[in-house]
């Protein structure tokens, strides 16, 4: 039994080591005193977000640095963009709207609909639903911007996502789980691509190319349509709001809808590597396009969390890369265990943030920490300077005395 436990620990350490470092990026604050931001979206040089104070949709042009307001009524839920077009749910959840920012033309696409996503000339969305309402008229709908025709492609209430000619959504399967379905617009064929074990709807779902991401029981998963392979990305049971573009998955760790701590993480698919890119404990609602990630952060109003400014994290700016790294004098022992940590990061960091995994933190470069109870603790060092931020993880194993 002891040898088996050691083998499990070794495997766990290997997994942690393979999920440590991502290229450094640069964070930029885009807005000042933005209030009650709800969700974000980015496409090319346009950043969009919704807020629940004035019930509006807003846009920021990364090329000109100009912020503009888009008229919206009682905006709720997610916002999605493609090209110059952005879609959202307005009228307090009763209608789907679209705005073309190149012409500043706003259009109500459909009433009694919500939760839209957009790609090319197609918008997908679901029906309105209120608690206690029957599901007789449930549906996932496809709207063609060229013909202005709406087609019902599934008889289910779900939040769909679209990329190319693929539409995906989750649907209850009757076995205490949810299947993920795919509809091919070109062939008009619909079928199940994978099954989750969650007992709740997986409304946080996204697709890019052949990759579908979703949250299941608080963890992020990715499914490759071409290889039929499912990969679990997180294992802490506290992941929300996954989004994907290209080689990057972004998500929030920590409940974004509560006053608890929450931060943005990114997962590099090709390298199977993860890093935490914010350290405020107040960041949420990420979106990704290319090498750019946007999110909301309450760091300028930590007490009330009403000021939720928009931040941009640019992964392409890797000049003078900063790479987090550290050593410790021990990695295992019996409680109470004193561990001396030493920063060995590259790139000359000027701030250090240690999360020892047991609730304790430090801003010292060479801290000493005592683990009082037995357990496996994930120590995380996040270092920063003017050129970016990076994180490193390692596991400390603390045993009880015999």
pTM of the shown model: 0.75
Q: Say yes or no: 161 and 275 in one domain.
A: yes
- Identify the domain boundary among 280, 314, 348: 314
Q: Say yes or no: 301 and 365 in one domain.
A: no
* Bridge partners, residue 66, by sequence: 61
Q: Say yes or no: 147 and 294 in one domain.
A: yes
Neighbours of 272 (CB within 10 A): 12
Q: Say yes or no: 208 and 301 in one domain.
A: yes
Q: Say yes or no: 301 and 334 in one domain.
A: no
First-to-final CA distance of the chain: 15
Nearest-angstrom CA–CA distance, 194 and 181: 7
Q: Say yes or no: 108 and 177 in one domain.
A: yes
* Bridge partners, residue 392, by sequence: 381
| 17 in Cβ contact with 272 (< 8 Å) | no
Q: Say yes or no: 218 and 350 in one domain.
A: no
User: What is the domain-level CATH number for residue 395?
Assistant: 2.60.40.10
- Identify the domain boundary among 264, 290, 314: 314
User: What is the domain-level CATH number for residue 295?
Assistant: 2.130.10.10
Q: Say yes or no: 271 and 221 in one domain.
A: yes
Q: Say yes or no: 198 and 333 in one domain.
A: no
Q: Say yes or no: 171 and 282 in one domain.
A: yes
| 59 in Cβ contact with 67 (< 8 Å) | yes
b/e 33-61 (16+ beta carbons within 10 angstroms → b) = ebebbbbbbbbeebbbbbbeeebbbbbbe
| 329 in Cβ contact with 322 (< 8 Å) | no
Four-point Cα dihedral 280, 278, 239, 30, nearest 10: 90
77 three-class SS: strand
Q: Say yes or no: 88 and 7 in one domain.
A: no
CA 156 vs CA 24, 96, 140, 152: distances in Å: 42, 18, 6, 10
Q: Say yes or no: 51 and 84 in one domain.
A: yes
Q: What is the pLDDT along the chain (402 residues), one digit of tens a residue?
A: 444 334 433 333 333 333 333 445 789 999 999 999 999 999 999 999 998 876 689 999 999 999 999 977 778 888 999 999 999 998 877 899 999 999 999 999 999 999 999 999 999 999 987 666 767 789 999 999 999 999 999 999 999 999 999 999 998 887 778 899 999 999 999 999 998 877 566 568 999 999 999 998 899 999 999 999 999 999 888 999 999 999 999 999 999 988 899 999 999 999 888 889 999 999 999 999 999 999 999 999 999 999 999 999 998 865 456 788 999 999 999 999 999 999 999 888 889 999 999 999 999 999 999 999 999 999 999 988 876 778 888 989 999 987
**Full residue range of the structural domain in which residue 93 is found:** 26-314
- Identify the domain boundary among 314, 343, 363: 314
Our count of domains for the chain comes to 2
For 132, residues 6+ apart whose C-beta sits below 8 A from its C-beta are none
């Amino acid at each position: 039994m002891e040898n088996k436990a050691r083998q499990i620990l070794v495997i766990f350490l290997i997994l942690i080591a393979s999920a440590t470092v991502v290229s450094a990026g640069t964070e930029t604050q885009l807005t000042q005193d933005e209030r009650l931001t709800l969700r974000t979206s980015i496409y090319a040089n346009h950043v969009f977000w919704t807020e629940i104070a004035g019930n509006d949709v807003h846009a920021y042009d990364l090329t000109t640095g100009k912020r503009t307001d888009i008229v919206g009524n009682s905006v709720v839920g997610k916002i999605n963009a493609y090209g110059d077009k952005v879609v959202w749910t307005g009228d307090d959840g009763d209608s789907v709207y679209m705005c073309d920012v190149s012409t500043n033309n706003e259009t109500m696409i459909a009433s009694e609909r919500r939760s839209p996503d957009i790609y090319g000339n197609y918008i997908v969305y679901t029906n309105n639903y209120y608690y206690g309402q029957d599901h007789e008229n449930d549906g996932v709908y496809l709207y063609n911007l060229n013909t202005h025709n709406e087609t019902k492609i599934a008889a289910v209430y779900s939040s769909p996502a679209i990329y190319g000619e693929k539409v995906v959504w989750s649907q209850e399967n009757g076995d205490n789980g949810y299947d993920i379905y795919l509809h091919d617009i070109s062939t008009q064929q619909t079928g199940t691509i994978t099954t989750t074990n969650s007992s709740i709807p997986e409304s946080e779902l996204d697709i890019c190319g052949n990759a579908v991401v979703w949250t299941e029981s608080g963890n992020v998963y990715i499914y490759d349509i071409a290889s039929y392979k499912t990969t679990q990305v997180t294992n802490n049971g506290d992941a929300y709001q996954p989004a994907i573009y290209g080689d990057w998955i972004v998500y929030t760790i920590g409940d974004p809808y509560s006053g608890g701590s929450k931060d943005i993480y990114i997962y590099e698919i090709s390298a199977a590597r993860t890093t935490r890119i914010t350290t405020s404990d107040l960041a949420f609602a990420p979106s990704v396009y290319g090498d750019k990630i946007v999110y909301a952060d309450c760091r300028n109003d930590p007490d009330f969390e009403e000021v939720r400014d928009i931040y941009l994290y640019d992964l392409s700016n890797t000049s003078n890369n900063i790479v987090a790294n550290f050593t410790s004098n021990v990695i295992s022992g019996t409680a109470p265990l004193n561990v001396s940590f030493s920063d060995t990061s590259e790139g000359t960091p000027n701030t250090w943030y240690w999360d020892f995994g047991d609730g304790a933190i430090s801003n010292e470069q060479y801290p000493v920490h005592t683990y009082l109870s037995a357990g496996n603790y994930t120590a995380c060092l996040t270092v920063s300077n003017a050129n970016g931020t990076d994180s490193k993880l390692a596991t400390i194993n603390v045993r009880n005395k015999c």
